[in-house]
Structure 1
């Protein structure tokens, strides 16, 4: 299942930004935003998920990426709680904040496709408009429920479900395995 190649890429970037740049829990452990060098590496890995030649984040843009991740996380949380009106309101606020403007672009031998750019003065990360439009595209589709927060205990990382059946509930195979192993141990004790 795909949302469209460009949308898939920017939604993946948004998901990974939230997972790298927001504190909480990850795979059963407390998760703190990493230090500067590791954070920059994680942000660079996140933007590479777009599948295009993206500008690698520099130290000057870190605060903008952190701000974007903090603003995007509630969309996943509201969708997980099935509070779609609130998810849409947050996404509309993101669209306003990052002034998403559509542009047709062709690069790397690809056919023309939509990109969304915002005002660089409003977003030093350069990703706010694209991520906001990606989320808006997903929320405005029949697949709005494909965003979520990991169902594993002690994990609040987010995911985008692109599985065929739409039943994904974990951020990673590691979390899914932890839950299955715990359930197996519980059955063995019973």
Structure 2
């Protein structure tokens, strides 16, 4: 499939856009119509399919040692809450979309990113507990962590354990219930389906 594979880093020239299409891990600069690498990895040239109207080969960069997925802004992630503080919760990112991540990425859900409305009334301890599994969208972070947002109906806690050790059932957007004890706990619950 890929004939030549050479090591490249972000910003490195992969070829001219007149000769190559930009594939994964590559982009075309509109200024000089040159294809550049957008990540570190192996440069590969993929031949076009015989029935393709565009007969330019595709140049792509694949992450080194099957690097697993890398979080990017706008990605939907699944994360496990590790710590809840007054103004934020930290979480370990476990999956990007449907792909599991091989490295440890840390995310932070800030108070203002928990929900879209009534932000001043958000209580972190009533939104998340350590161990909760949340679905969130990634926004830009700093060097230490990615910022995660649950400020959409379909984002928030998707799985939580009750004190009795059972998987809780969502009963509203703000509450989950233990099927064993009937105990209700507050959460920022992700709306399922519809």
Q: Which has the larger radius of gyration?
A: 2
Greater strand fraction, Structure 1 or Structure 2: 2
TM-score range (shorter-chain normalised) is under 0.3
Q: Which TM-score applies when normalising by structure 2?
A: 0.24
Q: Which TM-score applies when normalising by structure 1?
A: 0.25
Structure having greater relative contact order (Cα 8 Å, sep ≥ 6): 1
Greater helix fraction, Structure 1 or Structure 2: 1
